[in-house]
């Protein structure tokens, strides 16, 4: 759809790119979008770990991004980290967006229940333990990725990794309180765009 829009008059922001550069850009965008597929998580992580080990073996401490394959690998993992960045945000923001996401899952589960369908994983508000699920998500998905990325760009991402680990500990401390039943679950109040912008601005100013 994005490339289709680029064909419309006054919408081609890459009009000044030559044919070869335009083809390279298109290829890069497609590869980055495909990297957001969670089914590719393990392969992306494995490639990133290999890059980290190669960097350590070389002893230079510098990344060699002279070829396209290495550059696209870095960009793919960068966008994958961005996709999995919510647990690494300040706790207040992390909890707010987790609540919104979980509520979306629960509404899907409610619909599936009403249609007598099998309820999808993480979508049953009567059985999902939110805190426990977040600890598992961090332990098995987010932390391995962010730990490896932090190792690659050390020390630039250390604060992100520290925040992720603090958030994980907070959720672990609240696991016993996480057996939420449908009658106990309060639907989160959705903030306006202005309120979100104000909170993000305040959070950024305090870091």
- Binding-site annotation: residue ranges for Zn(2+): 83
User: How far is 39 from 195, CA to CA, in rounded Å?
Assistant: 34
- Tokens at residue 116, please? 């007598």
Phi and psi (nearest 5°) for 129?
-100, 100
Residue 166: name the closest of 103, 100, 92 by CA. Answer: 92
For residue 150, give the nearest of 65, 68, 78, 69 by alpha carbon. Answer: 78
Residues belonging to the binding site are 83
Closest CA to 123 of 134, 108, 113, 111: 108
Q: How many CA atoms lie within 13 A of 152 on its CB side?
A: 22
- What is the Cα 178 distance to its own chain's centre? 23
């Amino acid at each position: 759809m994005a490339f289709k829009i680029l064909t419309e008059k006054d919408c081609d922001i890459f009009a000044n790119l030559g044919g070869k550069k335009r083809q390279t850009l298109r290829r890069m965008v497609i590869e980055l979008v495909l990297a957001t597929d969670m089914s590719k998580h393990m392969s992306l992580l494995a490639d990133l770990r290999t890059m980290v080990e190669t960097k350590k073996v070389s002893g230079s401490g510098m990344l060699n991004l002279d070829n396209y394959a290495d550059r696209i690998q870095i960009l793919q993992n960068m966008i994958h980290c961005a996709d999995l960045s919510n647990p690494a945000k300040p706790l207040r923001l992390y909890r707010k967006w987790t609540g919104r996401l979980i509520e979306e899952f629960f509404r899907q589960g409610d619909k599936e229940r009403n249609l007598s369908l099998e309820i999808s994983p993480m979508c049953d508000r009567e059985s999902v333990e939110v805190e426990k699920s977040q600890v598992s998500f961090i332990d098995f998905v987010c932390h391995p990725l962010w730990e490896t990325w932090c190792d690659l760009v050390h020390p630039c991402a250390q604060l992100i990794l520290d925040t992720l680990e603090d958030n994980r500990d907070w959720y672990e401390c609240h696991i016993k309180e996480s057996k939420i039943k449908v009658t106990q679950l309060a639907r989160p109040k959705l903030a306006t765009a202005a309120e979100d912008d104000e909170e993000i601005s305040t959070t950024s100013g305090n870091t």
